[in-house]
Amino acid sequence: MQLAWRVDEGSKVKLKDYDPDFVDKYTDRALASAEIEKLSEELGELQQLLAAAQHHSLLIVLQGMDTSGKDGTIRHVMAQVNPLGCEVRSFKGPTSREQGRDFLWRIHRVVPGRGMISIFNRSHYEDVLVVWRRRYAAINDFERLLSQNDTIILKFYLHISYEEQEKRLLARQVDRTKAWKLSSADWAERKYWNDYQQAYGDALSKCSTDEAPWYIVPANRKWYRSLLVARTLVSTLRPYKKEWQAKLVKRGEQELARIEKLQQVGDNPVEAKPLLRG
């Protein structure tokens, strides 16, 4: 099964080596639609266990050029996730209060607590051109700290081509119902495309670790982008399922023992009898 391309720790990434039009030969749009529906349902079940077990948290980072599909990915992949257990954060330019602190302060304040999922739609990887190289070590240390405190971290770079971005920007101009998404900066920043590609390549190279891996997602085809993100998420969480279930069974047994003790001493106002176990 094709997943998003994982960046191995220590590898050198050049985004031009990754085809944003890639689709594996076993998948078409119709098959993908059916599979995403099943994966979304399974992701919802895994989230329920994550929330109940209260042992891990999940941090999903989405990065990519403008129009790469961060919002669409959230909408399609997380369709059956309980919103009570999931938060989406989007980091714009720092406020005056945030500028007076280290650049990770505003990030650390909103990382997910145990049992929660947080999605960063843009993140601490946003400022990649000006001050980036000073931040490699700090980000790796920060993400290692989160991992040591049982946060599962998955970072996705949604990889589109220069031509595909132009097509999507023009489509928004034509469709007046979507023109509100546009900014003059979207066009102005296209002249820095190669600089961004180099900077993102450096970020993926320097900050993909075993604890917090980066995944490159071919994103020119929106349906395939969502499928690969869903596959990668579910395949990462599945190995935790038995651990979470075991914690819940143990917790249930402990609670049953307390209830049985109360019933035996007649403290249960409903029925003072031992529980029969099947």
Q: Is 100 exposed, middle or buried (0-12, 13-18, 19+ CB in 10 A)?
A: exposed
Per the structure, how many domains does the chain have? 1
Nearest to 235 by CA among 209, 218, 213: 213
Predicted TM-score (pTM) of the model is 0.90
Q: What is the pLDDT of residues 54-64, one digit of tens each?
A: 999 999 999 99
Question: Would residue 83 count as lying in a domain?
Answer: yes
Question: Would residue 261 count as lying in a domain?
Answer: no
Question: Would residue 258 count as lying in a domain?
Answer: no
Q: What is the pLDDT of residues 109-141, one digit of tens each?
A: 999 999 999 999 988 887 655 566 678 889 999
Q: What is the pLDDT of residues 32-46, one digit of tens each?
A: 999 999 999 999 999
Question: Would residue 273 count as lying in a domain?
Answer: no
Domain range enclosing 179: 5-251
Question: Would residue 169 count as lying in a domain?
Answer: yes
In CATH, what number is assigned to the domain containing residue 85? 3.40.50.300
Tell me, what's the pLDDT at 272?
47
> Has residue 269 got a pLDDT over 60?
no
Other Cβ atoms less than 10 A from the Cβ of 155: the count is: 23
Nearest to 58 by CA among 259, 215, 196, 237: 237
Question: Would residue 256 count as lying in a domain?
Answer: no
Question: Would residue 272 count as lying in a domain?
Answer: no
Tell me, what's the pLDDT at 132?
65
Question: Would residue 277 count as lying in a domain?
Answer: no
